[in-house]
Amino acid sequence: MAEKPRPLVAGNWKMNGLTADLAEIAVIRDALAGALGGPDIIICPPATLIAAAAQLCAGSFIAIGGQDCHPERRGAYTGDIAAEMLRDAGASYVIVGHSERRRDHGESDVLVSAKAEAALRAGLKVILCVGETEAERAAGHAPDVVARQLEGSLPSAPHGDSLVVAYEPVWAIGTGVTPTPNDVAEMHGFLRQRLAARLPESSDVRLLYGGSVKADNAAELLHLPAVDGALIGGASLKAAEFLAIAATYR
């Protein structure tokens, strides 16, 4: 049996954070200084803070990630950011396919896959998000939806340690509602099977759960056998809450 991957706790700040909020990252950095045996930590602040956050966390246990990237290296794409730009600013990860990008910007699986390819091209690791809506789950289509998103959004030939998959049921993101532990275990087990059928190094791919993860439910969700960590939204904005979730693995 393959050894379980090292846990990963990632914070997605979304469109939140000004320069003053870098203080929260500094608190996390200082709290984890010298800590051994805990999870890997990633913070994904808005693009305006990536360079400063990367400088702040240089030499620490914290990696910095972007929240999105464009498939092209450069060009006339006003307002977009290339994966190479994220890398240049100090990021080592990037989120692609988040449900808010799929919903608000109409991103298709094909586009998400192209963004994942761009990230790997730039030397970034990919956090690929998949998840069903409430209507899709109620209709019994959740596995089909998640399988379609996974298959359609994967880059062509990722190495196992260059890819993280985050299952984020859309109906649980920012709502305070979470699936039951059994629901999460079933979907993560399903995702693990689909990855095994597609990737030879699938055992190295970490499967994160995301969707209303908080300190008071983290232990129940994150220690399920098929769950390798969490992608956290609102609870990552405050160091104390984020650290309490990360402490689940200590």
CA distances to 64, 168, 217 from 151, rounded to whole Å, are: 27, 16, 30
Give 220's contacts (C-beta < 8 A, 6+ positions apart).
181
Cβ neighbours, 10 Å, residue 51: 15
Q: Whose CA is closest to 212, among 238, 231, 193, 188?
A: 231
| Catalytic site residue from 24, 70, 84, 98 | 98
Which sign, positive or negative, has the C-alpha torsion 170, 176, 182, 184? positive
Radius of gyration in angstroms for the set of CA atoms belonging to the chain, rounded to a whole number: 17
| Catalytic site residue from 24, 84, 100, 168 | 168
132 catalytic? Reply is no
223 catalytic? Reply is no
Active site residues: 98, 168
